[in-house]
């Protein structure tokens, strides 16, 4: 039975899905999501009697929902116990190293999964997930269908392309927020209240992004900065542009500023025109 959306059923009837790290926040999110789709879900974590190895031997699909620091060790324990007809995936924020580690550790189908959202989201529709093929083409199509049926947007691309884009989406974005937060942290309380009270719609969005930081995990943010080999070049490019712009303004070269502004506007127009379209969504 093929889904009207064109996504196939799972390669085995009623697959059992295992989540390693299933007691973590993202692990619980996926457990609830998949149970909601009618799947049997097993969970292994530090506090469960079920070990990752036993879970791997019993499941058709294994999701590694573990921190990047523990990833290599967990994959090495789980991979060899998986059946060749099974599917191994993960939920890390970077994909090239993780997909390589999974390919090395297991002989089954492998794909990387990056949920582009946090575990606080209660409504699946409208969320986004990146999928990076590793080995095999059967399970990944089913996996994509699981998301699509719930209205989650899927973007399928190579782990390399994913990580290059994440140097902007995560590394540079967090970098700017941390620099902005550090600069603002030195204002007086009264000045900070003025700034918040006078925020324009544009700056209100910056304040919202900054306010979200308070709920994030510093270790994850450090791993994202330290683990992405493409990040350094992107941060350097941003800092170089900022430095040049600073020099223009310090010299009072408002024509030069105007040229820079119009270049940024042209980029804004490209983005506004819908480069944000999800590939494959008409």
Shortest spacing between CB 279 and a second copy, in angstroms: 6
- Contact call for residues 256 and 248 (beta carbons, < 8 A): yes
Distances (CA, A) of 87 to 141, 169, 254, 266: 11, 28, 57, 43
135 binds a second copy (CB under 8 A): no
Distant-in-sequence, close-in-space partners of 113: CB < 8 Å, separation ≥ 6? 63, 89, 90, 91, 129, 130, 131, 132, 143
* Helix, strand, coil % in the chain, rounded to nearest 5: 55, 15, 30
For residue 266, the minimal CB distance to a second copy (Å) is 7
Strand partners, 40: 16
Interface residue with a second copy among 35, 191, 229, 251 (CB under 8 A) is 191
By CB under 8 A, name the one of 80, 151, 226, 229 that touches a second copy. Answer: 226
Q: Does 192 bind a second copy (CB under 8 A)?
A: yes
Instruction: Find the shortest distance in angstroms from Cβ 180 to a second copy.
Output: 7
Query: Minimal distance in Å, beta carbon 53 to a second copy?
Result: 31
- Tell which one of 1, 137, 277, 282 touches a second copy (CB under 8 A): 277
Of the CA atoms within 13 Å of residue 208, those in its CB half-sphere come to 6
Q: Which of 76, 219, 229, 251 binds a second copy (CB under 8 A)?
A: 219
Please give the size of the binding site for a second copy, defined by CB under 8 A: 102
| 236 interacts with a second copy by CB under 8 A | yes
- C-alpha 52/C-alpha 81 separation (Å) is 9
Site string for a second copy, 158-177 (x = CB under 8 A): ---xx-xxx-xxx-xxxxxx
Residue nearer to a second copy on the CB measure, 76 or 179: 179
DSSP reduced 3-state for 42: strand
């Amino acid at each position: 039975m093929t889904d009207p959306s064109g996504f196939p059923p799972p390669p085995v009837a009623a697959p059992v899905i295992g989540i390693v790290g299933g007691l973590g926040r993202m692990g619980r999110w996926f457990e609830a999501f998949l149970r909601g789709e009618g799947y049997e879900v097993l969970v292994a974590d530090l506090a469960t009697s079920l070990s990752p190895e036993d879970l791997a031997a019993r499941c058709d699909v294994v999701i590694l929902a573990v921190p990047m620091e523990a990833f290599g060790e967990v994959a090495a324990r789980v991979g060899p116990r998986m059946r060749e007809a099974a599917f191994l995936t993960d939920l890390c924020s970077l994909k090239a190293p993780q997909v390589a580690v999974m390919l090395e550790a297991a002989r089954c189908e492998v794909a990387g999964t990056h949920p582009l959202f946090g575990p606080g989201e209660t409504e699946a529709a409208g969320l986004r997930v990146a999928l990076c093929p590793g080995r095999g083409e059967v399970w990944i199509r089913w996996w994509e269908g699981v998301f699509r049926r719930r209205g989650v947007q899927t973007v399928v691309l190579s782990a390399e392309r994913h990580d290059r884009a994440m140097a902007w989406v995560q590394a540079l974005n967090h970098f700017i927020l941390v620099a902005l937060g550090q600069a603002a942290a030195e204002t007086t309380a009264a000045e900070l209240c003025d700034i918040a009270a006078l925020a324009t719609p544009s700056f209100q969005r910056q304040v919202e992004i900054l306010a979200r930081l308070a709920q994030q995990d510093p270790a994850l943010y450090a791993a994202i900065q330290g683990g992405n080999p493409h990040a350094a070049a992107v941060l350097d490019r941003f800092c170089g542009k900022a430095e040049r712009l600073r020099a223009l303004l310090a010299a009072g070269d408002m024509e030069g500023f105007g040229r820079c502004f119009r270049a940024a506007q042209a980029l804004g127009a490209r983005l506004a025109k819908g480069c944000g379209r999800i590939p494959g969504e008409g």
